[in-house]
């Protein structure tokens, strides 16, 4: 079976139902198809979650990167910056930031590291690149999965309809 | 005698005698009361959260004492970026009063602003609590009546079954 770059198997399209059913009973085939369809749907859900997580993180990384660039600019002017910072949800206070060459980045899991401005800029840009690439891949995968789910549902419908037709033919044959 | 107070279409409060209603309608009222109770308890916990958030803000203002002036602190510039800096002004803070408006106040004024906010939320929370208690009382009364009606219905059914088989009872004699 072919697969897409991330290893998701491609679903086969059943062109000739009769040929396909020579190897399996109708019930077993239908069961296989519904199983495959539910696996695809499960993967779709997890990709959707991954995508929405990334969509949240990317603007934050962009903001942090912009701040680091601003601080690099400020350092050139060599004068302290006056700013308001968030103390709490609705409370802000005045502060003065002297020109600094080091910033601290919160990496999560209770870890904060100090970086020089250049290192911070590098780290954030590479993080942003990776996140954007992952977002692209997740969107691609989602489209691909949608296709496979539709194919599987069409297959199930075709097999079921063929089965119904066969039963009708068999019934009218026994009646004669 | 249990009654529930509700407003009819004209908006006037109307007392309904719960005992007169059939079981199906009682079911409907039960689900309605459950929904109302859920939303009210949700609103109540939101009020509590808002209250603790305002208390925190007030504590933060209290932390800005004259000793903390010119002390080096970590200043958050974004969610994950911190820079070392100094508190420049401990007398003035900026408060977000909502709808995109920020007001600069003295520390004392900000503290009293948060105090009045805490009181206001406290009052609302109390009102919600009273309504919740009322609804809970009517809900309990409703459950009692439903139980009573259910046992009545069951007894009626049993009697109907017994009456349907006069032959067997005759044989039993």
CA A142 from centroid of its chain's CA atoms:
7
The set of residues, in sequence order, having a beta carbon less than 8 Å from that of B153 and lying 6+ positions away, is B23
Any B CB within 8 A of A79 CB: no
- Classify residue B154: in a domain, yes or no: no
> pLDDT tens digits, chain A, 176 residues: what are they?
566 777 778 888 877 877 877 777 888 888 888 888 899 999 999 999 999 999 999 999 999 999 888 888 888 877 888 888 888 888 888 888 888 888 899 888 889 999 998 899 999 999 999 999 999 999 999 999 999 899 889 888 888 898 899 889 999 988 87
All domains in chain A, ordered by first residue = 27-161 (1.10.287.370)
pTM of the model: 0.67
A123 CB contacts (<8 Å, ≥6 apart)?
A: A105, A115
B170 belongs to a structural domain: no
Calpha distance A55→B103 (Å, rounded): 33
Token match 């059939």: residue?
A: B22
* A95 with B110: Cβ contact below 8 A: no
Q: What are residue A102's phi and psi, to 5 degrees?
A: -125, 145
In a domain, B114, yes or no: yes
CATH of the domain at B102: 1.10.287.370
> Which chain A residues are within 8 Å of B85, Cβ to Cβ?
83, 95-98
Residue range(s) defining the domain that contains residue B122: 33-63+91-144
| Whether B89 and A93 lie within 8 Å, measured CB to CB | yes
Domain total for chain B? 1
């Amino acid at each position: 079976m072919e697969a897409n770059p991330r290893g998701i198997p491609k679903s086969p399209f059943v062109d000739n139902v009769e040929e396909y059913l020579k190897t399996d009973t109708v019930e077993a085939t239908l069961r296989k198809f519904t199983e495959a369809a539910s696996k695809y749907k499960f993967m779709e859900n997890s990709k959707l979650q991954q995508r929405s997580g990334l969509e949240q993180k990317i603007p934050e990384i962009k903001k942090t990167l912009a701040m680091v660039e601003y601080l690099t600019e400020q350092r050139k002017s060599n004068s302290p910056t006056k700013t308001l910072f968030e103390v709490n949800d609705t409370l802000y206070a005045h502060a003065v930031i002297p020109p600094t060459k080091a910033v601290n980045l919160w990496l999560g899991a209770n870890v904060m590291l100090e970086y020089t401005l250049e290192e911070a800029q590098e780290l954030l840009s590479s993080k942003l690149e990776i996140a954007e690439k992952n977002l692209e891949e997740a969107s691609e995968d989602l489209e691909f999965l949608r296709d496979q789910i539709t194919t599987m549902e069409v297959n199930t419908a075709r097999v079921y309809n063929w089965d119904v037709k066969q039963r009708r033919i068999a019934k009218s044959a026994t009646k004669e | 005698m249990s009654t529930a107070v509700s407003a009819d279409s004209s908006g006037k409060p109307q007392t309904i005698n719960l005992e007169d209603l059939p079981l199906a309608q009682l079911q409907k009222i039960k689900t309605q009361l459950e929904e109302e109770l859920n939303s009210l308890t949700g609103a109540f916990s939101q009020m509590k959260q808002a209250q603790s958030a305002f208390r925190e803000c007030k504590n933060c203002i209290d932390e800005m004492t004259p000793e903390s002036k010119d002390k080096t602190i970590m200043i958050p510039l974004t969610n994950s970026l911190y820079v070392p800096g100094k508190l420049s002004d401990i007398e003035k803070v900026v408060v977000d009063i909502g709808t995109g408006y920020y007001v600069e106040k003295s520390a004392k004024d900000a503290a009293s602003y948060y105090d009045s906010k805490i009181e206001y939320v406290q009052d609302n929370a109390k009102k919600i609590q009273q309504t919740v208690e009322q609804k809970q009382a009517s809900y309990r009364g409703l459950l009692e009546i439903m139980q009573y009606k259910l046992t009545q219905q069951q007894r009626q059914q049993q009697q109907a079954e017994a009456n349907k088989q006069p032959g067997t009872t005759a044989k039993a004699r």
